[in-house]
Structure 1
Amino acid sequence: MAGKMLSGRESLSLQRVGKLFKREMLQECAALSMILIVAFLVLSIVSYDPADVPGAVWPLNEQPSNLGGRIGAISVHLGYTFLGVGTYLLVGVFGVYASLIFFRRKAADWPVRLIGTTMLVITFAALFGDSYADSGIMPSRGGVIGTTIFGMLNANFGMTGTYLVLAFTTLLSFLLATDVLFYPIIRDLLHPLGNENEISGPLEMPVISEPIMPGEEEEKTESKSWFKKLLGKGGDDDTSEDEDDEGLDFDPDPTLIPTSEASPAPEPEKQGARRPAVKRPTPAAEPASPEEWEEALANYSLPDVAMLNVAKKKDSANARAEMQRAAEIIRQTFAAFRLDVRVSDYTRGPTVTTYEMEIPPDVMINKITRYKDNLALNLRVSTVRMVTTAGKSTIGVEVPNHTRDMVGFREILESPELEEARKKMELPMAFGKDALGQTIVRDLANMPHLLVGGATGQGKSVFENVMLASLLMCCTPYQLRLVMVDPKQVEFTPYQDVPHLLAPVIDDSRRAVSVFEWVVEEMERRYTLLKNTGVRKISEFNELSERELNKRLKEKDIDPDEVPNQLPYIVCIVDELADMMLVAADTKVDELIARIAAKARAAGIHLILVTQSPRSDVLTGLIKANIPARVSLRVNTGTESRIVLDQTGAEDLLGKGDLLMVMPGEPKALRAQSAYIADDELNRMLDNLRAQLKPNYVIDPNNLAEPGQSGGGGSVGELDPDFIRAVDEVMSAGRGSASFLRTAMGLGHTRATRIIIQMEKCNILGPSRGSKEREILISFEEWEARKNSGDPSGRGGVYDSMAA
């Protein structure tokens, strides 16, 4: 089946590489051509002589002295004639755009930038429209265009009014061309860093008469980074260096990492609450045949990030002062308890600001952390988290921002971290930004499975969409296939008929178990294939050339036509694990999940398990043992946090996408803010995928057998080894419920529920009656007769071996 699903790797890869190569070559050629033109014009300007231009002066030089020849001289002459000194600015701007293209800098809103640049060149020429050249190089300093515009303005506004209009137009066109704001520049010139209030020496704990809210967003256009916008970099790439001034209580110019060009966080209800109903996309009329699917896949291209929303900028000029005041409150709070601490640095992230706090060597850490509630009270915030950082001798104090910043999904996709991840990772998956404002991208292939927990309304659905959307934006259906289980029947509705799906979205938990049985079989098939080809993991198999693969298969007497050239990664995501565990309790679904988690990594099969009920009977030790990667959004209790993360802390999160993540190989839990993808941009992206390619379903859930069976759904399957003992307990006590069996026999919730369901199917107990005990349908004598007959199920001796 896998062979039918995936073949033709070489042809598809060549076409994809050809497309990428063509695009890169065109961009490279355009940039080099523009740079060559700029160099040509500069040389022509430097060596310009009017006598090289026919008709400009007399006599004409027989041999042009211009380094650009006759063409160069004529080009410069035309520029001088129409723009005057504006020619120099035009060549300079042309050079800047050539550099942007060469270094692959993306210019946002390029039509606006182009209009602004054109206005700037013309206005610059008009500024010199009233002055004439003192040499014979150019007719006038403003050229024909500048002189004409200046004359028209002078006739209507007078000389002073003309220069005021031109000054305003110059500033406006500069703003449109560069996106530079003048206010931060003027502010920092009037208030240089050296004049900022410095905090030094011991202070008495003052009575704070007004709230200290250290949360205003940092100014995106600091004076030290404004000039980078001229190169299209914006403020996102600016990270000021750490300074170490021993004479201060804390660094007066601490590290400020801009959170992004992002708008304020959406209203809290939008990111954390349940997402509104989404219109179900119109399904494809018919799934594509394997041949049609592979043919269409050759023309498949990854979605363009331009279809996603651009986050708005936010101005927050008082962020530095607010954070300095908060740093002083931290120092004063501990001074009141006679603890000499020093805030050496602070960094603003999207959700919290982290203050680096130095403590004396003779002070124990737990003596500091015990005062976090007092600190939260003085800072007037809901909670404060204290963490130690590997590689630093400081304690990080995470203080919630007064105004949280939304982390846009497009911003994550355009980050350098994700660009680098596309080159190095097999399954790059975006999370958001950490407490320091750094983009978080991890490789699902290395996790290799992920467990996500969180209470209802804390941003879990948005986080799922961010993970899935990042996979779909980075991987083609040739590289990745999905199995999506949605017991709630609403979360994964938008993904229906996406070409990456191996099967339609599964909304029946019992059918989901059958699909997991298929996944286990696929895992075993893949391991057999890896063994026969002499490789240890899927990435090594996919790197084999077609010639080498055929050679190894023939050595094992295997027909190469029956083996795919490339195996895709398979990601199975379950939206609500607790529901599937409960409904399919009699199918040993936890054992299937545990088996996949234990050995599916090398076969390229990965799990993402999500639950809003992080209880020990749902996230059993059997499941958690092989899923080291954990993410927890806010939960209700510290116990639930320990179940998900094996540590407390998630109960103190702020909600709305605020999360803690524990990854293999990382020593401590990392705090992060989930990215946000709106319904409209998610639907645009998924519509783009569906428009390119119809789904090619390999799994038909309707044709799969019932879980654990080869026949109908009325079978009870293999009885639990303690089934007879459990019925004895029920008959003796006259009570039939899972909670009773857990108490009487010391069983777990899942196993006790499974036995109760088996009793119902064996007509020993009646159906569930809500909070009441189930009705016992047979007498004690009838049960004894069943046991003695060797058929405890009452189904005709099928389970004789169980009665022995």
Structure 2
Amino acid sequence: MQKKLVDCFDVAGLYLKYESDKFTRKIYPKIHSAQKLDNRIEYVFTLLNGMDPREVRKKEYAFFQIFGRTLKIESDGIKKYVLTIYAESLAKEIKWNWSDIVGTCQHFKLPIYCGKNENNEHVAYDMVKNPHLLIAGETGSGKSTQVRSVLTTLIKTTTSSHLHLYLADLKRSEFHLFRRVEHVKAVCTKVSELKRVLAYLKKETECRGDLLEKYEVTHVDDLPEHERVPYIVLCIDEVALLKKEKDAMEIIEDISAIGRALGMFLILSMQRPDAKVLDGKLKVNLTVRMGFRCADLTNSRIVGTPGSEKIESSQGGRFLLKLEKLTEVQAPHLDDVNAKKELEPYKRDDVVPIEESIPLCPNNHTVSNCGRSPLTDEEEPPTPQFGLLEDE
């Protein structure tokens, strides 16, 4: 077993040379152990004094070339490394199962469940700490199913008083399942409807900014209990359709820039990456990317997941996750039928038109009702603390 690791050191150039008049010798990192465990092989080795640990990270590709894709390299950051080679590869398909994933998600404030990695481990993260998500991939790659899975998981892990969802589906094909869900404040199928929502959310950013300034805190989670506001997630399917809507894109970019502190987050998806849309501060602020199968290297680089162009068409639901580093993940499959069953307990009986639920000019939107549902005609507006926000 040790010989294979030595071959890897040799290919990667991870050695020091000792030269004398008679011969030249390669001195490799010291291998302390190599053992077979239940479903993996584990190597422990240390670098020689004078070897740069950054070289291991640079030459990490050599480990994958020699040992395959199912490995993990862990380090103390100085000399010691643990290389684990797993026997199992990524599952070809996994089912979205609430009882299976709830334990992974329950510790996060705003959990985004991704799927399973090549070590058969659940992969999830907290959107509050890693704001804004881009999901991209060709038709049939699993992108739409993943959006459905992400939203369903958010609904099941977070109460409607702590999470408000605003959904935009300009193709009118994806978000009908989420109508009447108590967390969902709007499902937009027209650009005019989305613009109405964006105007409302722009006012919301101003309102929440006033709250942070009033209480001299840097995040809405630090506000006093009586001023706490729900998280807001704006999810737009096929955001590339908005590239000609300059005003709309500016608001989306603003949310990407300041939304983290305000508890406002983006989930954007698109089939074909568009460099004009993913340009400037929007691309920079989309800190997490899910790159499903892309047409070519250019498209995968636009998404920020180079290598996703190599995903085969037979690998539905496979994607590269860019979080701390690129990780290959198998997304869970959640079909329409099961999604309906999971969402049914959260459905309301009534359907409120966007014109009623989202005021175009929210004159009642004051610091004291920030983040709460718009007032109905029967309710009296609360006493303003700073006066009304003026319409722009």
Q: Indicate whether the TM-score tops 0.5.
A: yes
CA contact (8 A) 2:200 2:359 kept: no
Superposition deviation, residue 618 in structure 1: 2.4
Which residue pairs with 2:278 in the alignment? 619
CA contact (8 A) 1:358 1:393 kept: yes
Question: What secondary structure does 1:433 align onto?
Answer: strand
CA contact (8 A) 1:412 1:418 kept: no
Please give the alpha-carbon distance, in whole angstroms, between the structure 1 residues aligned to 2:242 and 2:311: 27
Match of 1:389 among 61, 64, 73: 73
Which whole-Å deviations, capped at 9, do the CAs of 1:651-707 have from their partners, x for residues lacking one?
2234322222222xx2x222222122232221012221115x7566776489648xx
Please give the alpha-carbon distance, in whole angstroms, between the structure 2 residues aligned to 1:454 and 1:494: 21
Which residue pairs with 2:253 in the alignment? 594
Query: Unmatched 5+ residue regions in structure 1?
Result: 1-198, 203-243, 257-343, 346-355, 377-383, 547-564, 706-804
Please give the alpha-carbon distance, in whole angstroms, between the structure 2 residues aligned to 1:579 and 1:466: 23
Which residue pairs with 2:105 in the alignment? 418
Which residue pairs with 1:430 in the alignment? 113
- Greater Rg, structure 1 or structure 2? 1
Which residue pairs with 1:688 in the alignment? 345
State the TM-score, normalized to the length of structure 2: 0.71
Match of 2:238 among 576, 579, 604: 576
Which residue pairs with 1:537 in the alignment? 219
Which residue pairs with 1:464 in the alignment? 147
Which residue pairs with 1:649 in the alignment? 307
CA contact (8 A) 1:659 1:673 kept: yes
Matched, 1:514 2:204: no
Superposition deviation, residue 365 in structure 1: 8.1
Matched, 1:524 2:206: yes
Which residue pairs with 1:475 in the alignment? 158
Question: What secondary structure does 1:571 align onto?
Answer: strand
Please give the alpha-carbon distance, in whole angstroms, between the structure 1 residues aligned to 2:327 and 2:166: 28
CA contact (8 A) 1:369 1:386 kept: no
Please give the alpha-carbon distance, in whole angstroms, between the structure 1 residues aligned to 2:176 and 2:157: 21
- Bigger fraction of residues in strand: 2
Question: What secondary structure does 1:440 align onto?
Answer: strand
Which whole-Å deviations, capped at 9, do the CAs of 1:195-236 have from their partners, x for residues lacking one?
xxxx7879xxxxxxxxxxxxxxxxxxxxxxxxxxxxxxxxxx
Matched, 1:495 2:155: no
Please give the alpha-carbon distance, in whole angstroms, between the structure 2 residues aligned to 1:678 and 1:651: 25
Matched, 1:448 2:135: no
Residues 394 and 413 of structure 1: CA distance in aligned 2, closer, same or farther (over 3 Å): closer
Question: Identity percentage over the alignment?
Answer: 24
Please give the alpha-carbon distance, in whole angstroms, between the structure 1 residues aligned to 2:99 and 2:162: 24
Which residue pairs with 2:97 in the alignment? 409
Which whole-Å deviations, capped at 9, do the CAs of 1:152-178 have from their partners, x for residues lacking one?
xxxxxxxxxxxxxxxxxxxxxxxxxxx
Question: What secondary structure does 1:625 align onto?
Answer: helix
Alpha-carbon RMSD: 3.6
Question: What secondary structure does 2:164 align onto?
Answer: strand
Question: What secondary structure does 1:602 align onto?
Answer: helix
Please give the alpha-carbon distance, in whole angstroms, between the structure 2 residues aligned to 1:398 and 1:650: 22
Superposition deviation, residue 386 in structure 1: 8.3
Which whole-Å deviations, capped at 9, do the CAs of 1:360-406 have from their partners, x for residues lacking one?
98998888847978x79xxxxxxx65887342746777898496352
Which residue pairs with 1:658 in the alignment? 318
Which whole-Å deviations, capped at 9, do the CAs of 1:235-294 have from their partners, x for residues lacking one?
xxxxxxxxx994xxx5333445xxxxxxxxxxxxxxxxxxxxxxxxxxxxxxxxxxxxxx
Question: What secondary structure does 1:634 align onto?
Answer: coil
Which whole-Å deviations, capped at 9, do the CAs of 1:554-610 have from their partners, x for residues lacking one?
xxxxxxxxxxx54111100001111122xxx14333222111111122221111111
- Bigger fraction of residues in helix: 1
Please give the alpha-carbon distance, in whole angstroms, between the structure 2 residues aligned to 1:638 and 1:396: 29
Residues 442 and 695 of structure 1: CA distance in aligned 2, closer, same or farther (over 3 Å): farther
Superposition deviation, residue 519 in structure 1: 0.8
CA contact (8 A) 2:70 2:88 kept: no
Write the mapping of 1:217-228 to structure 2, written as runs, cut at 5 A. Answer: none
CA contact (8 A) 1:452 1:609 kept: yes
Residues 575 and 370 of structure 1: CA distance in aligned 2, closer, same or farther (over 3 Å): same
Residues 478 and 511 of structure 1: CA distance in aligned 2, closer, same or farther (over 3 Å): same
Residues 634 and 601 of structure 1: CA distance in aligned 2, closer, same or farther (over 3 Å): same
CA contact (8 A) 2:39 2:86 kept: no
CA contact (8 A) 1:385 1:399 kept: no
Write the mapping of 1:736-755 to structure 2, written as runs, cut at 5 A. Answer: none
State the TM-score, normalized to the length of structure 1: 0.36
Please give the alpha-carbon distance, in whole angstroms, between the structure 2 residues aligned to 1:491 and 1:367: 42
Count of residue correspondences: 324
Matched to 2:201, the amino acid is V
Please give the alpha-carbon distance, in whole angstroms, between the structure 2 residues aligned to 1:521 and 1:502: 16
Question: What secondary structure does 1:588 align onto?
Answer: helix
Please give the alpha-carbon distance, in whole angstroms, between the structure 2 residues aligned to 1:675 and 1:616: 28
Matched to 1:409, the amino acid is N
Please give the alpha-carbon distance, in whole angstroms, between the structure 1 residues aligned to 2:203 and 2:346: 29
